Chain A
């Protein structure tokens, strides 16, 4: 694969004989046209396809909620190509064959904002899950009015990520809560992080595994 510099504009793409010219991430590449794949995929290829398929399905839900903005903002900060690319690169390895998902490996938030110290689950009543943390307000990367946010995946919908609307808590409060979704689920995977009050900046998240029987 050759990388070609066509100057400032460089807007060239298309097919040229047995080669393809295309642009990705502001660069122009030249590569040989793909050949038709023959034979079955190897074990490694199947594993990689499973990872990709799992990540793609979960990203369908990511882009339907506020996590879309989380990844877009994070990708701008780190110079990634897009929120989609960043999501895939951070989470591909959390997926495996036969619908396997390692929820502990999932990364659903990130950015330059600081995470609060000693973030922990305090109590559960009905579907209301309480958290407490030590206020670490210290300036631009940790402001008192930063909102506590949470993304939730339940075991009855293993790829569906959602961000509950019912949630409270600011960094300076030192505590907050989130209302988990209704449903037949037994286990919920909760990812708690902070976001700037005006949006556009987010912190990394912390993962909690919540079992429903504990809530009864």
Chain B
């Protein structure tokens, strides 16, 4: 590794051939690329990689949900929080191989109290109905908290996120659900977010459906 000060090569970065240069601590650093990647393939490391790989597979729509569920506009922050909430979950350890493993996932997280919700599917009408109960006001559980419902098509890897209503009043909301050509398994979740959109509850798994 070489450190040099040059008038010409200021703020130079990236690689040329097998030489990489970058700026660190206000100084220009030059180093050779590693010739061989060191890779300790210990069992915990491999398991960790499998878990990350599993989460990465659902990254596309997980991110779209997580920006709402983890209360951030940054996709990077949302991804970090999603990984933090799910990496060590049992279902992720199994690679989400079974549809039931999806019940273990969290698409939202935070200090708010979880909402009291249920979800029901009507195969004839092709609709999903979310119902929620009013909860008394207390810290981290206020009447003006917004409630959200999520339905994930496990096979097609598609997602539906709907705002349902407020925590301060019981209610129900119905949305169009399964279409021709959709997958066979769906899982529904619900979570709450405060009125300011700055804090959320952990998402709760509501139901797992298999197409009849």
Give the residues from 119 to 146 in chain B that come closer than 8 angstroms, CB to CB, to chain A: 136-140, 142
- Convert B78-92 into 0s and 1s, putting 1 for each residue whose CB lies closer than 8 angstroms to a CB of A: 000000000000000
Task: Report Cα–Cα, A160/B134, bound state, in Å.
Answer: 14
Give the residues from 95 to 153 in chain B that come closer than 8 angstroms, CB to CB, to chain A: 136-140, 142
- Convert B21-46 into 0s and 1s, putting 1 for each residue whose CB lies closer than 8 angstroms to a CB of A: 00000000000000000000000000
A158 touches B139 (CB 8 A): no
A158 touches B140 (CB 8 A): no
- Report the contact-size class of chain B (Cβ under 8 Å from the partner): under 10
Taking Cβ atoms with an 8 Å cutoff, the residues of B that contact A are 136-140, 142
B142 touches A57 (CB 8 A): yes
Chain A, Cβ-Cβ closest to B136: A157
- Is residue A99 contacting chain B, with contact meaning CB distance below 8 A? yes
The binding surface of chain B is classed by DSSP as: loop
Task: Report Cα–Cα, A60/B136, bound state, in Å.
Answer: 13
- A-chain residues with CB within 8 Å of residue B140 when the two chains form the complex: 53
- Is residue A131 contacting chain B, with contact meaning CB distance below 8 A? no
- B-chain residues with CB within 8 Å of residue A157 when the two chains form the complex: 136-137
Q: Which of A50, A53, A54, A159 contacts B136 (CB 8 A)?
A: A159
B137 touches A99 (CB 8 A): no
B139 touches A50 (CB 8 A): yes
A57 touches B136 (CB 8 A): no
Chain A, Cβ-Cβ closest to B137: A159
- A-chain residues with CB within 8 Å of residue B142 when the two chains form the complex: 57, 60
Taking the nearest CB of chain B, how far is it from the CB of A151, in angstroms? 16
Chain B, Cβ-Cβ closest to A57: B139
Task: Report Cα–Cα, A160/B138, bound state, in Å.
Answer: 9
- A-chain residues with CB within 8 Å of residue B137 when the two chains form the complex: 57, 60-61, 157, 159-160
Task: Report Cα–Cα, A57/B138, bound state, in Å.
Answer: 6
A selection of 19 A-B contacts at a CB cut-off of 8 Å is: A53-B140, A54-B139, A56-B139, A57-B137, A60-B137, A60-B142, A61-B137, A99-B138, A99-B139, A156-B136, A157-B136, A157-B137, A158-B136, A158-B138, A159-B137, A159-B138, A159-B139, A160-B136, A160-B137
